[in-house]
Amino acid sequence: MVAKAEIVAPALPSRGSLLRQRPELITVPLVFVLAIAGWECAVRFLDINALILPGPFEIWEELIDGLQSGVYLKHGLVTGEEMVAGFLIGASLGLVIGSVVSQFPLIEKTFFAYLVGLQTVPKFAIAPLFIVWFGFGIQSKIFISAMVVFFPMVVSTIEGFQASDQRQLDMLRAMGASRWQQFRMVKLPNALPFIFVGANVGVVLSILGAVVGEFVGAQEGLGYLILQYNFQLKIARVFAILVVLATMGISLHLMVKFLHRRIVFWRKPSSHLEA
């Protein structure tokens, strides 16, 4: 008589074991609550002027008011379009140029110094040139954002391809693999974690590029609103816009993180930028 196989359902982790494995589920919101409470208490008990530092509840009221009126949504869509388009353009150029440069040492040694020199130039200093070249429209902000994203993406791509396992490449060459096969089977998989690190840095910097462009010259966008509210001394609204920008940045970071985990599924992220 054949015994029936007993199907045992996998045990779900208890709440206690989950918190032991991921204590940040408690510490992150706890630190946030304590910071907000301390901020509010400091503003109230020290009687800090709202023109210098508004309290969290006042900022929350301005945030809700701006969202309900649609002002933040209208200008946020403009800034969001600038940062997403700038990120896609800068990341694509950085990925392509980094991939090509990393395959030819002479090209890397020739042009890498120029890339570093371009990165050292303050973006706020050359932003007016983009306004002159591309006008006050959305195009100038997209190009500024793309330029900010480009450098971390190209550097991460070059570093990723240079980190390929030489033993694996030697084995493929011994088996008669072509340059394309070596690139596809060894170099690209090894470079992907580095590429996503660059993408994670770039997606955060894309917000900086878009807002800097709006500071220099714009008629719409969250950066434009920050300047207007700052001139009007509506500091709580400035903080509310900063909350909106932070939310947009976190959302884009989580999107890159999701793609990282789905595409580079064979390697567990080893840093917060990769996570």
Instruction: Supply the range of the domain harboring residue 103.
Output: 73-263
* Token pair for 152: 């971390």
56 falls within a domain: no
Residue 245: alpha-carbon gap to chain centroid: 12
Instruction: Give me the pLDDT at residue 243, please.
Output: 92
pTM of the full structure: 0.79
pLDDT tens figures, 88-119 = 999 999 999 888 887 777 777 777 777 777 77
- Which has the closest alpha carbon to 71: 181, 229, 192, 208? 229
> Does residue 2 have a pLDDT over 60?
no
25 falls within a domain: no
- Cα separation, 91 vs 68, in Å, equals 34
39 falls within a domain: no
pLDDT tens figures, 202-213 = 888 888 888 888
Domain CATH number, residue 133: 1.10.3720.10
252 falls within a domain: yes
Q: What percent of the chain has pLDDT over 90?
A: 9
160 falls within a domain: yes
Answer yes or no: are the C-beta atoms of 186 and 169 closer than 8 Å.
yes
Q: How many domains does the chain have?
A: 1
Mean pLDDT of 256-270: 76
